[in-house]
Structure 1
Amino acid sequence: MRAAGGFTGRANSTLTCGDPGLPVPAALRAVQGFAREHGIKPTAHVTTGSVHEQAIEAAGWRVDHDHPGGAASQVMTGPLEKFADGVAESRDLPGWWELAAGSEVSAVQRHVLGSGDDVCFASLTENDVVVAAVRGAVVEDVLHVARLAVRPAHRRRGLARRLMGELAGWGLAHGATTCVLQVAEHNEAAIRLYEDLGCTEHHRYRYWIPAGS
C-alpha cells in the first residue's frame, strides 16, 4: 500500500501481487481504509489478465478510465548496451522539475522521484532552458526509467532518443544491465521509440477503483 499525497498513480495505489493473506473483498476494504487514512483515492494497481484482476472485478471494482495518465499502462524492458550512447550528467535543476513533474519541486515530488541511492536527473538544455528531461534510478542491476518529457517546440528532433542513450550510459556506469519503463498504452509514439531502442513488452497493468467511486 502506497501513499504520496496524490503525486503519480503508482505512488498512490496498492500493488496487488501474491497472496494478500485474507479474502480479496476484505483486502480491498483494507485498501479503502488505507486510502481514507491518507486522503487519497482507493486504487488497486493490477496486472492485466491476472487472477487478481478477475477477483477484484468479481468483488465489484471497476477500471479507472478517468485516471489522468490513462487507466492502462505497458511495462517494457530492454538491454542498455543496445542503445547506450554517452553518459548523462545528473543535474537537479528547477527546469527539470518544471518539465518532468509539471511544477516547482515539492516535498512529495522530491520523495517520489528522488528516493534511492543511485538517482539521475538527466536533461538537455538550450540557452539555459531545460528542453528534455528524464529520471533514472538504478536498483541492483536494473535501471528504472521515468518522467521522459520533451517540450512541444523541441519535438521531432531526436532529443528523447539522445537523452535515453545518455541515461543508458549512466545506468551502465552504475552497474545496471537492463532497463524497465512504464508507458501509457495509448502513447503510441513513445512505445515506438522504446521498441526502436530494443525494448519489448513485459506485461500490462490497469488501475481499479470501487464501482461507486
Structure 2
Amino acid sequence: MAQQHTPRSGAVIGDRVVVRYLLGESTPADWRGSPDAAQSDVTGFLIDDADPVRLERDGEVVSIPAAAITSVKLLSAKPVRNKEIRALEGVAARSWPGVETAWIAGWFVRAGHGFSRRANSAIPLDMSAHPDATTLGRIAQWYADRDLPPLLALPERLLKASVVGGVEDVEVQMLTCDVTVLTGRLGEFGSDAVRLADEPDADWLAAYTGHRSGGDTDAARQVVTAGDGPPIFAAIVDAESSAVTAIGRGVVTESPDGRKWLGLSALWTDPERRRSGLSTRVLAALVAWGADHGADAAYLQVETTNRVAGAWYRRLGFGLHHTYRYITPDVPSPDPALREH
C-alpha cells in the first residue's frame, strides 16, 4: 500500500479493510449514487498494496489510485463481538499469566519479573473494568510493590488507549485460524526434525532470550512454563553444530464456552536460517500437537509493525480477530508508605 497510508492501518495483503477515497474520474463511483458526494469508500479484502490499491469485494476486483486514498481502516477478518474479544483475551491471559496474578476491579493484573509485556501488564477482562483514577492508582501500586512500572494491555474495541491517557507503546494484532485450515496448509511440511518437550531446556531458553536485551533465562523459564496447559516446547537443532535454529511454544486452553484454543507463542528462527522453512516445520509440529489435544482453533499475537511475519501468517490462513495496544498510564507515582509488607 502507498507509504502514506500503511502506518494508519497496519493492513497487509489478505486483510479485510475499508478504504476511503476522494471521488474522481479514475476512482470507483460512489456506491450511494449521491451526485454531491466528494468521498466514498470500499470494503473488501486487500489483494494488492501497490498503486493502484486493489480490493476484492464480493468477487469483484476494485482498483483505487493511491493518491486518492484518504484513509485505510483495518477490520476483523469476519465480524467479531466484544464478548468474543473478551473471551479470547481471557484464554490468552491464562496461557501467559506471568508468575503472579491478581484481580483489581475487573482488571487481570500479572507480573513476571519484568520478562515480556504480556506477563507484566494489566488487562480489562471483566465488563466491570474501568480506567478511573482510583483503579489505575491501585494497579500502579500493585506493580510498584513488585518494582515494576504499571503497564496496561488495552483491546481496542473494549477500551481505547485515548480514554486512559498515557504513553502508548506498540500495537499488537490478535490473529486466529481454524486448526483444520492450518492442518491442511501445513500438512505437506514434515515435522520429523522438530523436537517436542514438556519443559524448555537451557538451549531453548538461550535461543528465546538471546535476541532480547537483558534476557534473563531464569525469569523466562518461570514465565513460559506458567499458566493453563501445560505447554509444549518445540525446537529444531542443527545436526552439525548442535545449535538450536528454531523454536516455538504451544498451549491448549479452554474458553468459557468449551472451545479449546491452541495458543502459539515464542516463535523464533535464527536470523541466518530464515526463509528456509524452519518456522513452518515448527508451526506444523505445534499445530499437530494442538489437534491431538483437542484444539479446534489457534491464535497468536504479532506486532502491527512486523509486516513480514504478519503477511506470512495471513498466507497460512490466519486472519485478524482484534487489536490491542500497550500503554503506560498517566498516574501519580505510588506512595512508598503504601507498599505491601
- The CA deviation at 1:208 is 1.1
| Greater helix share, structure number | 1
Aligned residues between the structures:
203
In the alignment, structure 2 segments of 5+ residues that lack a partner are 1-108, 255-259, 334-341
Cα separation, 2, equivalents of 1:167 and 1:23: 37
Q: Does residue 90 of structure 1 match 2:203?
A: no
Aligned to 1:135: 249
Cα separation, 2, equivalents of 1:94 and 1:22: 41
- The CA deviation at 1:11 is 0.8
Aligned to 2:179: 80
Cα separation, 1, equivalents of 2:203 and 2:128: 41
Equivalent position to 1:112, from 219, 223, 226? 223
Cα separation, 2, equivalents of 1:3 and 1:184: 21
Partner of 1:7: helix, strand, or coil? Answer: coil
Aligned pairs for 1:131-210 within 5 A: 131-140=245-254, 141-210=260-329
Relative distance call for 1:83 and 1:23 in structure 2 (3 A) is closer
Residues 43 and 209 in structure 1, CA contact (< 8 A), matched pair in contact too: yes
After superposition, the CA RMSD in angstroms is: 2.1
Residues 183 and 190 in structure 1, CA contact (< 8 A), matched pair in contact too: yes
- The CA deviation at 1:17 is 3.0
Residues 25 and 56 in structure 1, CA contact (< 8 A), matched pair in contact too: no
Cα separation, 1, equivalents of 2:131 and 2:311: 40
Aligned to 1:42: 150
Identical-pair percentage: 28
Relative distance call for 1:210 and 1:117 in structure 2 (3 A) is closer
Residues 133 and 163 in structure 1, CA contact (< 8 A), matched pair in contact too: yes
TM-score, reference length from structure 2: 0.55
| Higher relative contact order, chain-length normalized (CA < 8 Å, sep 6+) | 1
Equivalent position to 2:124, from 8, 12, 16? 16
Aligned to 1:67: none
Name the amino acid aligned to 1:122. Answer: A
TM-score, reference length from structure 1: 0.86
In the alignment, structure 1 segments of 5+ residues that lack a partner are 65-70
Partner of 1:2: helix, strand, or coil? Answer: strand
